[in-house]
Amino acid sequence: MILIHPPVAKPCEPPGGIGKLCGALSHHGMKYRVLDANLEGLLSLLKAPLASSDTWTSRALRHLSRHLASLKSRDAYRDEGRYRRAIKDLNRLLEMTARPSRVRLGLANYEHEDLSPARSKDLVRAAENPEDNPFFSYFRKRLMELLTNEQPSMIGFSLNYLSQALCTFAMIGFLRREWSGVKLVLGGGLVTSWMRRPHWHNPFNGLVDHLVAGPGETPLLSLMGVTPSTNIHYEPNYDALPIRDYLAPGLILPYGSSSGCYWNRCSFCPERAEGNPYIPIPVGEVIRDLLHLVDHQESALIHLLDNAISLSIMKAISEHPPGVPWYGFARMTRPLTDPDSCLALKRSGCVMLKLGLESGDQAVLDNLQKGVHLEEASSVLKNLKKAGIATYVYLLFGTPREGLIEARRTLEFVVKHHDCIGFLNLAIFNMPIYGPQARGMETKTFYEGDLSLYTSFDHPAGWSRQLIRQFLDKEFKRHPAISAILRRDPPVFTSNHAPFFTMEGRVG
Ligand code: SF4
C-alpha cells in the first residue's frame, strides 16, 4: 500500500490525516510506504531549471538554498524582513515555473486559468491530461520508481484542500493509464465534504475504485482485509514521512484529540452542516500519545488539530505538560476566562491559541449561536495576554445578521483589545450550501461547480461582498492599531508559522 499527500498544501508539517492512517497500518503490522508528493513536488519545481527569467527570478534562484535553510532554522523567525523575502522569492520561483501550464502556483496555492477544483468535469479533464500538470515530470518519475520497487496493490490519496484537487486527479489519471491494475482509494477532508452533500452521486466512477468519507483508518484496514476492533484508537505515526525536510525550524507534530466539535452549534459552521459527529479520544490516551510522540521524535512544536480543544484536554495538558510548546484552536469561554487556568496553560507550553471571535457585536454572535459573550471574550484576551500566550483571532464579516453598524462594532472591539491580539484573520462569510442558514434565503451557486461547498446569497440588509470589501479595505484595515496587527501576519504560512515568531519574542 502507498499513501500519497498530493500538492499543493502548506509544506511546513507532516500531514496529520496520513499520520493517523500510518498509525493504524503500523498497529496491525501492515506494510506501507508514504509519499509526501506535496513537499517533494514543490522542492523539485523550486529547483527546476527555468526557461526564461527576469532579474527578480534569477536572484530568487541564486538565493534558493539560503532561503530554504533560513526557513528551516530560527534565523528567518528572528528577522521578519528575511522571512518575507524568502517566502516572496520561493513563491516567485513557483509562479514562474508553473506559468507555461497556465497555473498560478505558490507555496499554498494552485489555481488553473480554466479548470476549477469544484467542477467534477474539470477534475476528470485533469485526470485525462496529466502531462499538462506542472508537477508531471516530478510525479511521473517518482511514481514509476515507487510502483516498480514496491508493486503495491493499492494507492490511497488524502485530499483535504481545494488547492490539492487538480493535482490529485492528474496523478490518478496518470496511474490509471500507466498502472491500471492498482486499486485507487480517495479520502480526506475535501472528499468527506463532497460525500456529505445531500444527493451526492459519485462522478469519478472508472477513475477511483473507492471513495472514503470521514476518518479513513477503519475503511482502509477493511480494504486490506483487516477487521479492527471497534472503538480502537491509533496513535499517529510519522516515521515514514520526511520529518526533517519541512519548511519549519524543527518538526511540527500534528495531533488531533477529537474529530467534529464539542460545541457543534455555530450556524455558519461546515462541521455542523456536514453532520460530522463529535468523537473525542479518551483524555488519558491523548496524554499518553503526546508524551510518547515527543519522546519518540525530537519536535519543535505540537499543533493540536482539534476544531476546538475541549476543557478536559486543556485541564489534562495543564496537569501533564507534553514538554514541547503547543498551540491550537480554543473557544473564547471557560476555562480561559480564569486567569489561573491561562497561567497553567502557559506553564504547560501553550504558546498561542487560535480564537474564533467572528464578530464584536453581541446580537450577531447570538444569531450565529456562537455561545460567546463579549465580556468573556474580552477577559479571555486580557488573561491570555497577561499569561504570555499569543492570540490569533478570527473574524467573519458578512454573516446574515451583520450590517455596517455591526461591522463597526467589531472594529471598535478589536481596537479596544489591540494590545491583546497577536494576529488577525479576516474572512468574508461563505454560506455552507446545505447549512441551516441557507434554508429560507435567496441563494446562488458560488463557484458554479457541482462540487461547490458554499453558496452566495442575497444579504437581507444589502451588506454585499463588494460593500464588505470596501469597508475592510478603506476603513477596517486602515485603522493604525489594526494595520499594525495585520502587518505581523506571516505571509502564506499564517497561523502555522506564527507560533515561531511568538517564541522568538516578536509577538506576545
Ligand atoms: S466552535 Fe468552531 S468548529 Fe465548533 S461549531 Fe463553532 S465554528 Fe464549528
Q: Give pLDDT tens digits for 65-115.
A: 999 999 999 989 999 999 999 999 999 999 999 999 999 999 999 999 999
pLDDT for the residue 430: 86
Spacing, Cα 272 to ligand 1 middle (Å) = 8
Residue 76 Cβ < 6 Å to ligand 1: no
Q: What is the DSSP letter of 188?
A: S
Query: Which of 322, 360, 363, 318 has the alpha carbon at shortest distance from 336?
Result: 318
Choose one of 264, 267, 279, 430 to mutate for the ligand 1 pocket test, by most ligand atoms within 8 angstroms of C-beta.
264
Q: Can you tell me the mean pLDDT for 151-169?
A: 97
Spacing, Cα 269 to ligand 1 middle (Å) = 6
Q: Can you tell me the mean pLDDT for 457-471?
A: 90
Spacing, Cα 82 to ligand 1 middle (Å) = 35
Percent of the chain scoring above 70 in pLDDT: 96
pLDDT for the residue 270: 81
Residue 425 Cβ < 6 Å to ligand 1: no
pLDDT for the residue 444: 60
Q: What is the DSSP string of 81-134?
A: HHHHHHHHHHHHHHHHHHGGGTEEEETTEEEESS--TT-HHHHHHHHH-GGGST
Q: Can you tell me the mean pLDDT for 2-7?
A: 98
Tell me, letter by letter, the H, E, C secondary structure of 280-342: ECCHHHHHHHHHHHHHHCCCCEEEECCCCCCHHHHHHHHHCCCCCCEEEEECCCCCCCCHHHH
Q: Can you tell me the mean pLDDT for 350-370?
A: 97
Residue 259 Cβ < 6 Å to ligand 1: no
Spacing, Cα 397 to ligand 1 middle (Å) = 16
Non-local CB neighbours of 45 within 8 Å, separated by 6+ positions: 93, 94, 97, 98, 105, 134, 135, 138
Helices (H), 327-440: 339-347, 362-367, 374-387, 404-416
pLDDT for the residue 468: 96
pLDDT band for position 269 (cuts 50, 70, 90): confident
Nearest CA to ligand 1 atom 7: 269
pLDDT band for position 50 (cuts 50, 70, 90): confident
pLDDT band for position 49 (cuts 50, 70, 90): confident
Spacing, Cα 265 to ligand 1 middle (Å) = 7
pLDDT band for position 268 (cuts 50, 70, 90): confident
Distances (CA, A) of 417 to 373, 375, 390, 412, 507: 15, 12, 13, 9, 15
pLDDT for the residue 439: 59
Nearest CA to ligand 1 atom 3: 307
Look at residue 450 and tell me whether its pLDDT is greater than 90.
no
Query: What is the Cα–Cα distance from 179 to 77, expressed in whole angstroms?
Result: 44
Query: What is the Cα–Cα distance from 471 to 48, expressed in whole angstroms?
Result: 42
Nearest CA to ligand 1 atom 8: 269
pLDDT for the residue 159: 98
Spacing, Cα 270 to ligand 1 middle (Å) = 8
pLDDT for the residue 77: 95
Query: What is the Cα–Cα distance from 379 to 386, expressed in whole angstroms?
Result: 10
Spacing, Cα 78 to ligand 1 middle (Å) = 33
Q: Can you tell me the mean pLDDT for 484-488?
A: 96
Q: Which atom of ligand 1 is nearest to the CA of 329?
A: 2
Look at residue 139 and tell me whether its pLDDT is greater than 60.
yes
Q: Give pLDDT tens digits for 369-388.
A: 999 999 999 999 999 999 99
Choose one of 257, 259, 266, 430 to mutate for the ligand 1 pocket test, by most ligand atoms within 8 angstroms of C-beta.
266
Query: What is the Cα–Cα distance from 82 to 79, expressed in whole angstroms?
Result: 5
Q: Which atom of ligand 1 is nearest to the CA of 356?
A: 2
Mean pLDDT of the chain: 93
Query: What is the Cα–Cα distance from 165 to 119, expressed in whole angstroms?
Result: 10
Helices (H), 1-100: 16-27, 37-47, 55-62, 64-71, 75-78, 80-98
Nearest CA to ligand 1 atom 5: 264
Q: Give pLDDT tens digits for 272-300.
A: 878 888 999 999 999 999 999 999 999 99
Residue 331 Cβ < 6 Å to ligand 1: yes
Question: Is the bond preceding 8 in cis, omega lying within 30 degrees of 0?
Answer: yes
Q: Which atom of ligand 1 is nearest to the CA of 307?
A: 3
Residue 502 Cβ < 6 Å to ligand 1: no
Look at residue 348 and tell me whether its pLDDT is greater than 90.
yes
Distances (CA, A) of 172 to 35, 155, 238, 315: 14, 9, 24, 44
Q: Can you tell me the mean pLDDT for 118-132?
A: 97
Spacing, Cα 395 to ligand 1 middle (Å) = 13
Q: What is the pTM of this model?
A: 0.94
Spacing, Cα 439 to ligand 1 middle (Å) = 19
Choose one of 259, 262, 267, 271 to mutate for the ligand 1 pocket test, by most ligand atoms within 8 angstroms of C-beta.
271
Residue 329 Cβ < 6 Å to ligand 1: no
Put residue 139 in one of left, alpha, beta given phi > 0 → left and psi -120 to 50 → alpha: alpha
Strands 103-106, 109-112: pairing is antiparallel
Residue 263 Cβ < 6 Å to ligand 1: yes
pLDDT for the residue 440: 59
Q: What is the DSSP letter of 49?
A: P
Query: What is the Cα–Cα distance from 205 to 127, expressed in whole angstroms?
Result: 12
Choose one of 193, 258, 259, 261 to mutate for the ligand 1 pocket test, by most ligand atoms within 8 angstroms of C-beta.
261
Residue 264 Cβ < 6 Å to ligand 1: yes
Q: Is 503 helix (H, G, I), strand (E, B) or coil?
A: helix
Spacing, Cα 438 to ligand 1 middle (Å) = 17
pLDDT for the residue 229: 73
- What does residue 358 show for φ and ψ, rounded to 5 degrees? 70, -55
pLDDT for the residue 72: 96
pLDDT for the residue 10: 98
Q: Can you tell me the mean pLDDT for 211-230?
A: 88
Q: What nine digits make up the cell of 348?
A: 504547560
- What does residue 254 show for φ and ψ, rounded to 5 degrees? -80, 140
Residue 308 Cβ < 6 Å to ligand 1: yes
Residue 266 Cβ < 6 Å to ligand 1: yes
Nearest CA to ligand 1 atom 6: 266
Beta bridge partners of 34: 3
Q: Which residues of 244-277 are buried (b: 16+ CB within 10 A; e: fewer)?
A: eebbbbbbbbbbbbbbbbbbbebbbbbbbbbebe
pLDDT band for position 486 (cuts 50, 70, 90): very high
pLDDT for the residue 437: 62
Residue 356 Cβ < 6 Å to ligand 1: yes
Spacing, Cα 258 to ligand 1 middle (Å) = 13
pLDDT for the residue 261: 93
Query: What is the Cα–Cα distance from 116 to 122, expressed in whole angstroms?
Result: 6
Query: What is the Cα–Cα distance from 485 to 400, expressed in whole angstroms?
Result: 27
Look at residue 157 and tell me whether its pLDDT is greater than 80.
yes
